[in-house]
Structure 1
Amino acid sequence: MRLNRRLFLSTAAVGAATLGAPALLAEATGKPRVVVIGGGAGGATAARYIAKDSKGAVDVTLIEPSRAYFTCFFSNLYIGGFKEIDDLGHTYGTLAAKYGINVVHDWAVDVDRDARTVSLASGASLPYDKLILSPGIDFIDGAVEGWSLASQNAMPHAYKGGSQAELLRAQVAAMPEGGTFAMVAPPNPFRCPPGPYERISMVAHMLKDANPTAKIIIADPKPKFSKMTLFQEGWLTHYPGMIDWIGADFGGGNVSVDPSAMTITIDGETTGVDACNVIPAMKAGRIAEMAGVMDGNWAPVNAAGMSSKADPDIHVLGDAADQGDMPKSGFAANSQAKVCANAVRGALTGSRVFPAKFTNTCWSLIAADDGVKVGATYEATDEKIAKVDGFISAPGESPDLRKATYQESEGWYAGIVADMFS
């Protein structure tokens, strides 16, 4: 993973700010204690809002192993050549220095719900009054025959931010003239429903100029996908004849791969490939399982404050949560984090708790200045986060509108990372 000078200096600041964290944590402050596991769109946002709005009344610790966080959202634009990897990297210095958050770069390896403690790989044990889990995703073992995490260098998943995206981009760039790129798309539910198809668009954009006779194959276990009409319209317009989508009705769910031979077998037909992106079925990050808050592959929550249905003192955000109608996205995690922060702060300090409202928008780039979006607003019910209304880009929109949609997404990215980290 490469870091530019700006990221290095910011990372060093975080290290300096957290050198004293174990000693600080060992001291009894008398304040209620919140521990947040996971420093992404859900966790970083929740930690910042609790610390900021409680004005020092709550002791907040953020546990995140990575000193530099690379967003998974917008990583497709890096693969397509619209971003550099350092554009996606962010550090935790401001959270520590400005808001007094104890930023601990370590792995959370266990949760004792009876004792209300979190164990770290370093051997430390952190007490909590409220625990917020925002661990993102892990992959289901055996979800794609022939693929495992041991195969991720040969056939990257690139569905967690950082080095995997760099690897996939390099493999696409190294494809021979007229070569074949393949993707194994995931089954529902999964992180970022339009994500695999935006990625196909970005790979096609990359190949269109550098390797125009290359072919792209998508093996998809689903009969349809998010923004399907918009993506297929865009592929026909910008990349005619390059992309072959094989859905469930045509054997797209009957797939195996051989990373050593670089082949993919779809419904019994084996094809040699030059680069292959395998995105397996997903589940909540492992710490949710260790905490005992999962039911199946995800962690059910109460919509009003994102508290776990297994434990009212644990809250689960973002991709890991089974919450109802919201998609698993960075925008959704950020929205849920603000609701959670308000509920946690209210429970610990007696401050006002506002009714829960949620929003989400997912933008996708199909080609240069050709952006589309889908989104909705949501409310908390007794059963779930429920969709209230929604919108989606229309086929055949004008180039000016599509360009404006893409520019809107750029503004959103700048806004959400500021909301997370500054």
Structure 2
Amino acid sequence: MKLNRRTFLGTGVAAATALQAPMVLGAGKPRVVVIGGGAGGATTARYIAKGAKGAVDVTLVEPTRTYYTCFFSNLYLGGFRELSSLAHSYGKLASDYGINVVHDWAIGIDRDARTVSLAGGGMLNYDRLVLSPGIDFVDGAVEGWDVTAQNKMPHAFKAGSQTELLKAQIEAMPEGGVFAMVAPPNPFRCPPGPYERVSMVAHVLKERNPTAKIIIADPKNKFSKMALFQEGWANHYEGMIDWINGDFGGGNVSVDPDAMTVTIDGEETKVDVCNVIPAMKAGRICEMAGITEGNWAPVTGHTMQSRIDENIHVLGDACAQGDMPKSGFSANSQAKVAAMAVLSALTDSKLFPAKFSNTCWSLIDTNDGVKVGATYEATDEKIAKVDGFISQTGEDAELRQATYEESVGWYAGITADIFG
């Protein structure tokens, strides 16, 4: 099925049908606070407010007034999108759904008092708290790099100014220059993302700087859609991309942002652009709330509730839930289950069995789109994969173009579903 806004918004999500006619239990309005205004948080806030019909007070805490989607940001790097097409505001969530949108940083959570402290000095009370803060980076994950070096060696895995910076650096590369990427270990946001990015960088360099080289230092020996990307690189960018995997020292990496060097397994290389994508962890507010185990926040897939605090739901990139990849589609899918669970807990709306879906599209070159996806269901242990699909090597150009066009329709549909 080709996805567009109408078909995406009409897909069979049981959660959407469950959010229609709640009744408040008790006299006072229950209060829900959602922290994080991306694909997970904004969707949850919208579906709770839509389903509650005024019976629940919903507050969305998000520091940025304009949200740039990380998904599709690689297409901006490749010249296939304008940055403005990735930008979304929260105006409709406030005006159309009555959500109290607070542009501030959440800096503390008191789980006993059920309060959220804000950087501006305010405090929010909650009956249920939803955390969808996305990712932060593991300190010391790449020797020689921390966030103070992100202007010299951008990560661009939080979209916006970092993405603009990386694009400018790519376009300013000298003739025959070197672009290096330090790829992250599993698990991380958008498993195909680094490799789509390499494809988009190669697309730009092929047109502007065809003698330039790309080096990928990767701690992994395999990655999402690996056969598809490697086929595409051979077809479109022959001889330009050198992928150094874990067996060949790709995980033994240090960088020097001042000298603009990358050292891979003891061999130092001078580079012109270095995209460092460090190991990732749940957004810091999850650690501050004391609901993480290791780098992520464990949840039950039935309701997306924290396994440490039942009054908190965690979703999107920040949660440890089982088989689903960390993606915008996953976060949006999990958000509907979380919203259904919150409304069931706070009103008399029905709780349906949790079901999830995800698709990740990637663009390798002009009209050469590929995808991978699956459906999932909640078990007591985790969110478990039910079945899946993936593009095949050797597909014809017409099918690849249709896959790319499908992704464009999906983007329009999902951003309307997130931001109203």
* Global fold match (TM > 0.5): yes
1:321 aligned to 2:319? yes
The equivalent residue for 2:17 is none
The equivalent residue for 1:76 is 74
- 1:30 shift after superposition: 2.1
1:146 aligned to 2:159? no
- 1:329 shift after superposition: 0.2
How far apart, in 1, do the equivalents of 2:410 and 2:313 lie?
26
How far apart, in 1, do the equivalents of 2:158 and 2:353 lie?
32
Amino acid at match of 2:313: H
The equivalent residue for 1:22 is none
How far apart, in 2, do the equivalents of 1:395 and 1:264 lie?
32
The equivalent residue for 1:43 is 41
Matched length: 394
1:279 aligned to 2:277? yes
The equivalent residue for 1:414 is 412
The equivalent residue for 1:363 is 361
2:100 maps to which of 102, 113, 116: 102
**Structure 1 segment 202-213 matched on structure 2, within 5 A:** 202-213=200-211
1:225 aligned to 2:223? yes
Amino acid at match of 2:399: L
- 1:275 shift after superposition: 0.3
- 1:161 shift after superposition: 1.0
How far apart, in 2, do the equivalents of 1:331 and 1:400 lie?
25
The equivalent residue for 2:398 is 400
How far apart, in 2, do the equivalents of 1:161 and 1:31 lie?
36
How far apart, in 2, do the equivalents of 1:257 and 1:123 lie?
39
The equivalent residue for 1:181 is 179
Amino acid at match of 2:170: V
Amino acid at match of 2:54: G
Secondary structure of the 1:287 match is helix
Secondary structure of the 2:156 match is coil
Scaled by the length of structure 1, the TM-score of the pair is: 0.93
How far apart, in 1, do the equivalents of 2:84 and 2:306 lie?
35
**Structure 1 segment 22-41 matched on structure 2, within 5 A:** 30-41=28-39
Secondary structure of the 1:359 match is strand
Amino acid at match of 2:378: A
- 1:108 shift after superposition: 0.2
How far apart, in 1, do the equivalents of 2:336 and 2:173 lie?
43
**Structure 2 alignment gaps of length 5 or more:** 1-26
**Structure 1 segment 51-70 matched on structure 2, within 5 A:** 51-70=49-68
How far apart, in 2, do the equivalents of 1:162 and 1:63 lie?
19
How far apart, in 1, do the equivalents of 2:287 and 2:183 lie?
25
1:339 aligned to 2:337? yes
Secondary structure of the 2:88 match is strand
1:290 maps to which of 271, 275, 288: 288
The equivalent residue for 2:86 is 88
1:190 aligned to 2:158? no
The equivalent residue for 2:13 is none
Amino acid at match of 2:235: T
How far apart, in 2, do the equivalents of 1:308 and 1:106 lie?
24
Amino acid at match of 2:248: F
Scaled by the length of structure 2, the TM-score of the pair is: 0.93
1:244 maps to which of 242, 259, 265: 242
Q: Deviations over 1:78-111 (max 9, x none)?
A: 0000011111000000000010000000000000
- 1:205 shift after superposition: 0.3
The equivalent residue for 1:3 is none
Amino acid at match of 1:309: R
Q: Deviations over 1:318-354 (max 9, x none)?
A: 0000000000000000000000000100100011111
How far apart, in 2, do the equivalents of 1:67 and 1:337 lie?
21
How far apart, in 1, do the equivalents of 2:28 and 2:337 lie?
25
Secondary structure of the 2:339 match is helix
The equivalent residue for 1:137 is 135
Secondary structure of the 2:164 match is helix
Amino acid at match of 1:179: G
Q: Deviations over 1:257-284 (max 9, x none)?
A: 0000000000010000000000000000
Instruction: Say which structure, 1 or 2, has more relative contact order (CA 8 Å, 6+ apart).
Output: 2
The percentage of counterpart residues that share the same residue type is 76
How far apart, in 2, do the equivalents of 1:178 and 1:405 lie?
33
Q: Deviations over 1:131-152 (max 9, x none)?
A: 0000000000100000010100
Q: Deviations over 1:193-252 (max 9, x none)?
A: 000000000000000010000000000000110000000000000000000000001110
Secondary structure of the 1:65 match is coil
- 1:401 shift after superposition: 0.2
1:122 aligned to 2:132? no
How far apart, in 2, do the equivalents of 1:323 and 1:54 lie?
26
The equivalent residue for 1:302 is 300
Secondary structure of the 1:410 match is helix
How far apart, in 2, do the equivalents of 1:299 and 1:113 lie?
15
How far apart, in 1, do the equivalents of 2:269 and 2:287 lie?
37
How far apart, in 1, do the equivalents of 2:167 and 2:66 lie?
20
CA RMSD, 1 decimal: 0.6
Amino acid at match of 1:323: Q
The equivalent residue for 1:162 is 160
- 1:185 shift after superposition: 0.1
